Structure 1
Amino acid sequence: MSNPPTITIRPVASKSDRKKFVDLAYRLNSGDPNWVPPLKSEAMEAIDPKKNGWFSHAEAQLFLAERDGQVAGRISAHLDTLALTMPPEQGFGPGVGFWGLFDAEDATIGAMLIAQAEDWLRGKGMTRALGPVSMSIWEEPGLLIQGYDHSPTIMMGHHRPELRGWIEGANYQPVKQLLTYELDITQEFPPIVQRIVAAGERNKRINIRKVNKSKFDEEAAIILAILNDAWSDNWGFVPLTQPEIDDVGKKLKPIVFEDLIRIAELDGEPVAFMITLPDLNEAIKPLNGSLMPFGWARLLWWLRKPKCTTMRVPLMGVVKRLQSSRMASQLAFMMIEYIRRAATTRYHATRGEIGWILDDNQGMVAIADAIESKVNRVYQVYKKTL
């Protein structure tokens, strides 16, 4: 009779281990036609404290599961010092730690990995675990529980259905759902939205402008200031820091197009913004994670003048003092309409995706409903007392 397999969980301790950590996702998801293999170079940078600005205020430990010496699962356990200072009623606060980047060959390995992450968090004095969050709340929070039948857009996660049962089997309870909405952007918006936009265009106090890419740092600072104010009362909010903004700027600058990012000014003051990105996933999916030997040339050609099916709105915000006013929705509708026009005429896009949006964010849900968009993906964040 053969001996049962030996399963071990060990911390990632070297560059070779980090490569194994990254490579596992490609093997476990290779059979899913809707999974988008990220560029391996970017996946490696995301878990490298020297190359990810999030680590300036966070600490993480990666773990590998091995069965008879072969990698069979992975998970990260991490804490964010800024999240620990946030009000508990907003979801985080003292004692809250996280785990993410979770994948495994089977339920047994999955359970062992979650238990290991919990032990690490307890050792750091954490009393509650939230997951999956991979790794910053601004990166890929939540587990996909609806929308397996199509590929995610840029900066969104995609997970195998069985992970849900493994997480819930470890006694985790849902705490928040994050929604994305899709819509046909070749169609004009309903008449009431068109009237609101037209009224805004007649209002001399309002100016909706494109960003100026030649002043990238200045524009980014304006957007960051609005974002940190607009989102400050939201569930799960952690302020973005300058090192994180610098990292995002480096990664996204090649797909920043001036007519797809708008800043709304009221009486000359920037009060709202909307960021729209061409869906880079459409370009990188065929590359299978590598720019070699010719992937780099294909990607550079695409970046020169992207033509894509989908545009994604990852972030928009209106300063807090306007959020309950009619002006807030008017500014949002104007930015959405102006970007819709550019997306369809210049980039030949036909589909838009907005999100993620908190399921209880009534203002944003109302805007999504008004432009007749529909929920296409749902991500769930879970919690557990340690």
Structure 2
Amino acid sequence: MTQNISIRPVANNADRKAFIDLPYRLYRNDPNWVPPLKSEVAGMIDPKKNGWFSHAEGQLFLAERGGAVVGRISAHLDTLALTMPRAQGFGPGAGFWGMFEAEDSDTARLLIERAEQWLREKGMDRAIGPVSLSVWEEPGLLTKGHDHPPTVMMGHHRPEYQGWIEAAGYQPVKQLMTYELDITQDFPPIVQRIIKSGERNDRIVIRKVDKSKFDQEAAIILAILNDAWSDNWGFVPLTQPEIDDVGKKLKPIVFEDLIMIAELDGEPVAFMITLPDLNEAIKPLGGSLLPFGWAKLLWWLRKPKAKTMRVPLMGVVKRLQSSRMASQLAFMMIEYIRRAAVRHYGASRGEIGWILDDNQGMVAIAETIESRVNKVYQVYEKTLG
């Protein structure tokens, strides 16, 4: 079988279209796969439209058998990731592969080998994957939770991939977990007491973001994020070009009562971003806004009603992370957003994450509000000889 498979670089618009289209065939019978908007995927892999490429480079590859596309992969490196401490997961010599899809195990093996070859040619001595493309986008392979659809900005993968990747010599290096909970129910009494105590503290202000000051609010959140996450595994600081691109994409689903900033003595020290699950609206569109998908999406965005709310990011400045104040601020923001999500958007389910498996503070918060792990994404690593 392998002698009939060829791997070649993506070289033109037709190749890029084939690269984008492949998952629509591989997952056509999977009820839990959410077809991404093809225009969004095209923007993600276009260096002119994805700010991540301001500090990164990569190559896309296609696998073909008998003239038909049967697999795809990206190989890429991030110059900022190369400067990070190796003890935090990346650092010198760390290269990546991602956007991985394959029809069978032979195709998977050859694709991974070709990505490794590209990384070696670039001087990398480790391959980390899947990471598609940035650690801030869709890192990790889904290994638990195939039985329900992913929320916005989360991945979904065929169960066979785990065995194929591990057979290629990859070892698990980090798990990323998402937690789900019923947000129609009040939180446990201990959490309610902590929230009420915070409300009596004149030093604390929890406020909604002001969308009319979008750039200023984004700058505040970015500063907290880059400080709060700086010691985490896999951390790579977000740059302004990335923030600009993310802002354009997310602004339509930014709602002021779903994003909170916590201030202590007048200083912003924590934030929480919550997004209505856009996947609920785009799943029926089949990846295209034409002919009438754009109208349906715009109508939904006017006043979304979403079953699920996702919390993709939250953070507390590093100097407070070992204090009781950190969890108090987190519980207050979670509660205020929970109320708004139920009252204004008809939501009944929340999803928090991803959360690193060794992030004890966030794991403790998730468990205290009685949420449970619903999806696990595994990141793998291999030493390149």
Give the CA deviation at 1:125: 0.2
Give the CA deviation at 1:7: 1.5
Give the CA deviation at 1:139: 0.2
Match of 1:135 in 2: 133
What is the one-letter code of the residue matched to 1:52?
A: N
Match of 1:302 in 2: 300
Match of 2:74 in 1: 76
Within 5 Å, which residues of 2 pair with 1:238-257? 238-257=236-255
Determine if contact 2:272/2:315 at 8 Å carries over to the other structure. Answer: yes
What is the one-letter code of the residue matched to 1:114?
A: I
Give secondary structure in 1 for the equivalent of 2:345. Answer: coil
Q: What is the distance in 1 between the residues matched to 2:306 and 2:260?
A: 20
Q: What is the distance in 1 between the residues matched to 2:233 and 2:17?
A: 33
Match of 1:181 in 2: 179
Q: What is the distance in 1 between the residues matched to 2:344 and 2:191?
A: 22
What is the one-letter code of the residue matched to 1:7?
A: I
Give the CA deviation at 1:68: 1.3
Determine if contact 1:183/1:351 at 8 Å carries over to the other structure. Answer: yes
What is the one-letter code of the residue matched to 1:128?
A: R
Give the CA deviation at 1:15: 1.4
Q: What is the distance in 1 between the residues matched to 2:147 and 2:23?
A: 19
Task: Encode CA deviations 1:43-71: one digit per residue, 9 max, x unaligned.
Answer: 11100111100000000100000101111
Match of 2:14 in 1: 16
TM-score, length basis structure 1 = 0.99
Determine if contact 1:5/1:68 at 8 Å carries over to the other structure. Answer: no
Identity of aligned residues (%): 80
Q: What is the distance in 2 between the residues matched to 1:375 and 1:69?
A: 42
Task: Encode CA deviations 1:181-214: one digit per residue, 9 max, x unaligned.
Answer: 0000000000000000000000000000000000
Give the CA deviation at 1:169: 0.4
Match of 1:355 in 2: 353
Q: What is the distance in 2 between the residues matched to 1:301 and 1:161?
A: 35
Structure 2: runs of 5+ lacking an equivalent: none
Q: Do structure 1's residue 382 and structure 2's residue 380 form an aligned pair?
A: yes
Q: What is the distance in 2 between the residues matched to 1:87 and 1:283?
A: 40
Q: Do structure 1's residue 46 and structure 2's residue 44 form an aligned pair?
A: yes
Match of 2:282 in 1: 284
Give the CA deviation at 1:246: 0.5
Match of 1:330 in 2: 328
Determine if contact 1:210/1:263 at 8 Å carries over to the other structure. Answer: yes
Which residue of 118, 142, 145 corresponds with 1:144? 142
Determine if contact 2:204/2:263 at 8 Å carries over to the other structure. Answer: yes
Match of 1:198 in 2: 196
Give secondary structure in 2 for the equivalent of 1:233. Answer: coil
Q: What is the distance in 1 between the residues matched to 2:124 and 2:75?
A: 11
Determine if contact 2:2/2:107 at 8 Å carries over to the other structure. Answer: no
What is the one-letter code of the residue matched to 1:328?
A: A
Q: What is the distance in 1 between the residues matched to 2:310 and 2:163?
A: 29
Match of 1:259 in 2: 257
Match of 1:109 in 2: 107
Q: What is the distance in 2 between the residues matched to 1:30 and 1:83?
A: 35
Give the CA deviation at 1:35: 0.2
Determine if contact 2:184/2:349 at 8 Å carries over to the other structure. Answer: yes
Determine if contact 2:51/2:241 at 8 Å carries over to the other structure. Answer: yes
Q: What is the distance in 1 between the residues matched to 2:231 and 2:3?
A: 49
Determine if contact 2:82/2:93 at 8 Å carries over to the other structure. Answer: yes
Match of 2:97 in 1: 99
Structure 1: runs of 5+ lacking an equivalent: none
Determine if contact 1:22/1:44 at 8 Å carries over to the other structure. Answer: yes
Determine if contact 1:5/1:67 at 8 Å carries over to the other structure. Answer: no
Give the CA deviation at 1:16: 1.3
Give the CA deviation at 1:216: 0.1
Match of 1:122 in 2: 120
Over 3 Å counting, the alpha-carbon distance change for 1:4 and 1:10 in structure 2 is closer
Task: Encode CA deviations 1:126-178: one digit per residue, 9 max, x unaligned.
Answer: 00000000010000000000000000000000000000110000010000000
Give the CA deviation at 1:6: 2.5
Match of 2:227 in 1: 229
Q: What is the distance in 2 between the residues matched to 1:15 and 1:338?
A: 46
Give the CA deviation at 1:258: 0.3
Aligned length: 384
Give the CA deviation at 1:106: 0.4
Determine if contact 1:260/1:275 at 8 Å carries over to the other structure. Answer: yes
Give the CA deviation at 1:311: 0.1
What is the one-letter code of the residue matched to 2:281?
A: A
Over 3 Å counting, the alpha-carbon distance change for 1:71 and 1:195 in structure 2 is same
Q: What is the distance in 2 between the residues matched to 1:223 and 1:331?
A: 15
Q: What is the distance in 1 between the residues matched to 2:376 and 2:5?
A: 33
